[in-house]
Structure formats: C-alpha cells, structure tokens
A = this chain, B = another copy of it.
Amino acid sequence: MDSKRIVYMDHAATTYVKPEVLEAMLPYFTEQFGNPSSVYTLGRKSRSAIEEAREKVAKAIGALPEEIYFTGGGSEADNWAIKGAAFANRAKGNHIITSKIEHHAILNTCEFLEKQGFEVTYVSVDENGVIDLEELKNSITDKTILISIMFANNEIGTIQPIEEIGRIAKERGIIFHTDAVQAIGNVEINVKDMNIDMLSLAAHKFYGPKGVGALYVRKGIRIENLIHGGGQERKRRGGTENLPGIVGLGKAIELATADIEGHNARIRALRDRLLNGILEKIPYTKLNGHPEKRLPGNINVSFKFIEGEGLLLLLDQSGIYGSTGSACSSGSLDPSHVLLAIGLPHEIAHGSLRLSLGDKNTEEDVDYVLDVLPKIVQRLRDMSPLYENFIKGGR
C-alpha cells in the first residue's frame, strides 16, 4: 500500500451498514430471535418488529404496509416481479417491454422468460441513457402485460422519466414495474403519484444490510410466487423471515428518506467538485450518463486510451475504491451493456471509471482523488500503444 488513506467511492456497488442500523438489528440475532410465525410472546414480538419495518418501507415510497413484501435482496425482488407478473398473466398476453440498460437481474430474467415462450422488447436509450419514450409507446401491443423500466441506472446514474412511463402504462392498462434499487434515498418516490404497480429495492444500497430487499406490489395486482413455501408474507413469499435483516432495512430506509433533499445537496456538491476537477485535470475524458438527470453521487467517466481494470488496481493501491464497466474486470467478453447502449465504442467503454459517493465522503477525499487519479491515468496512458499512436498523430 502506498497510502493509509482509504477513500470508498463505490456506494453504488454496496454500502457499509450504518451504526444505528446495526444497533437496531442486534437484539434480533440473539435475544428476540423468535420465529415471527409462532403464536407465543417471543414470536409475536418478532412479528411486530417486522410489521414496523413494513410500515417504514411503505411510508418511504408512499405505499400501504400491506403492499410491501420482504425478499432476500434486489435481485430476488426483480426476478419475482418479472416472472411473477409473467406467469400470472400468461392468459392475457406474453409480451414484456423493458430497456437495454436494465440490471442483469431484469435482463437475464427476461432471457429466461423468452425461453419459456414470452416475447421481450428491449427499448433503446439515447446518448445520455434516457429511455426512448416513443419507441416504448410504439412497442406496446395487445399482448403486452408488463413494462419494467429501472428508476435510475446503476452504472451511469441516469434517472428515467418514471412518471411519464407510469402514465403510459396506466393508460394502456399494463402493469408497470420499476427497479428502484439505486434510486431509494436519492430520489423522492411516491408509487401512487407515479402510477408504479411494482417496485424493487435492496437495503445494502442505502446503508442497510446485504441479503434483504423488498418488492412493493400494488393492491389488486396478482403475481405468481417466486419462492413457494410456508405462509409467510401473507402466503406470497415462503421462508422464515430474515428478522434482523428486515429490521435493518426498515431502519435504513427511514434514515435514507428522512431528508433526501439535504442529503442530495451535500453529495451533489462533493460530486460536482470531483467531476469538474476530473474533467479539468484529465484530458481526453468524457462524462457518461445524463449531465443533470443523474443520481447525486454518481460519476461515470471514460478515459481514452486506457483500460479500466488496471485503473482500479492502481487506485486500490492508493486506497481509492471505484468500479469500471470494462469487461476485463468482470470476466465477460464485452464491456458494460449500458455503456454500449449509450453508443460508446468498445475501447472507450473499456476505459470507464465509476465513482459513486456516499455519506462519509469528504472534501478531503475528493481532493485526494483529484491528486491521485490524474497521475494514474497518465501512467497507464504512458504504457498504452493507443496513446502512443494518438500522440504521434495517428490514431
């Protein structure tokens, strides 16, 4: 290690659990551990704790408590929403609309459903990552049973026009699901005003624990179960409840949505300072995602001529933690499908860096990154044959 300073800027990947959240969880591991389905006191206390958490989640998104179902994470919520709506509405139609930039929890679920006889349209996005609403409208058919468009993108941070999509879906009587895993705590959400029928979220993106999430399902919407089993979650999601996890989710969403505006103002100021510094200090750099309609903590930039994994490793050596859309870091062949969908050429997509800021980041962190990052980019460029070509006037 070159340095003692640690700057965590990968909050979009996962966050630490806030001390208040962990504290709220602790009694439920060892003392108040009763099975919430049990009739005795210990079980009833667990049941109350879960219902309290359910109310908190409901309040945070403008839903009713009985519309909230707890899951084992964001991916389970996404899988459940999509497969659940598909299997329950097969008689009505077999067509699903989603976008090209969804999380793999949505995309791979859709791919599975295609194998089961469903048809899926993947709507395009513009160069800023905003969904093409005309294309969305035009792709609706009589057989369309579900539209699933993410609230905010995890890589480039672009926020979608969810209200408008909600309106379109409502007009046509189509179920509308949104993956809000990245949006919670960063955007004001009201599922009723926005005509959202289903919404996925995951605690570990807003300082809650990993392995727990929730799916909001509007009253009256029927979906097939994903995890069949006991009578938990009003018979819609089997499995002994993750009691401490659910309590943690409740506490975390309460904290995360208590003052979204204040949180955003602070994070956005830091983010802009960092972003402007990067664009100023490092030439041949491009911002990915929408310049304004983006998550407050999200930076996604492409540095020409270099590849992202090496960048991450060198940043790591300086105690800076970020992420990249380069294929090389994930073991797949292609770079991020999101970066390709907004039109980046492969080699530019490979040189992308995502820094996602969070509650503990400071101005000193920003200044430190602004000191370290330009040197690292230059170091990699000095090793790069593409940069050599460019400097020598070729390309």
Using CB atoms and an 8 Å cutoff, list the residues of chain A in contact with chain B. Answer: 8, 10, 13-17, 19, 22, 29-31, 33-35, 37-43, 71-76, 78-79, 103-105, 108-109, 111-112, 202, 204, 209-212, 224-231, 238-245, 309, 312-313, 315-316, 321-323, 329-332
Is the beta-carbon distance between A240 and B204 smaller than 8 angstroms? yes
Contacts A73-B240, A73-B242, A105-B230 aside, 9 further interface pairs with beta carbons under 8 A come to A10-B34, A10-B38, A22-B29, A22-B30, A39-B313, A72-B73, A74-B239, A104-B229, A210-B241
Is the beta-carbon distance between B37 and A228 smaller than 8 angstroms? no
Is the beta-carbon distance between B13 and A33 smaller than 8 angstroms? no
Chain B residues with Cβ under 8 A from A315's Cβ? 40
Could you give 30 example pairs across A and B, Cβ below 8 Å?
A: A10-B35, A10-B38, A13-B240, A14-B35, A19-B30, A33-B210, A38-B323, A40-B315, A42-B321, A71-B72, A72-B76, A72-B211, A72-B239, A75-B227, A75-B239, A78-B229, A79-B226, A79-B228, A104-B238, A105-B227, A105-B229, A108-B228, A109-B228, A204-B240, A209-B242, A211-B241, A211-B244, A231-B330, A231-B332, A245-B245
Known contacts A39-B316, A211-B212, A228-B104; decide if A31 and B14 are in contact (CB<8 Å): no
Counting from the closest, the 10 A-B pairs by CB-CB distance are: A211-B242, A72-B72, A75-B239, A105-B229, A108-B228, A40-B316, A75-B229, A17-B29, A13-B35, A16-B33
Is the beta-carbon distance between B211 and A103 smaller than 8 angstroms? no
Is the beta-carbon distance between B239 and A105 smaller than 8 angstroms? yes
- Nearest B residue to A208 via CB reads B29
Chain B residues with Cβ under 8 A from A312's Cβ? 39-40
Of A15, A30, A75, most B-chain CB atoms within 10 Å: A75
- Nearest B residue to A323 via CB reads B38
CB distance from A12 to the nearest CB of B (A): 10
Chain B residues with Cβ under 8 A from A17's Cβ? 29-30, 33
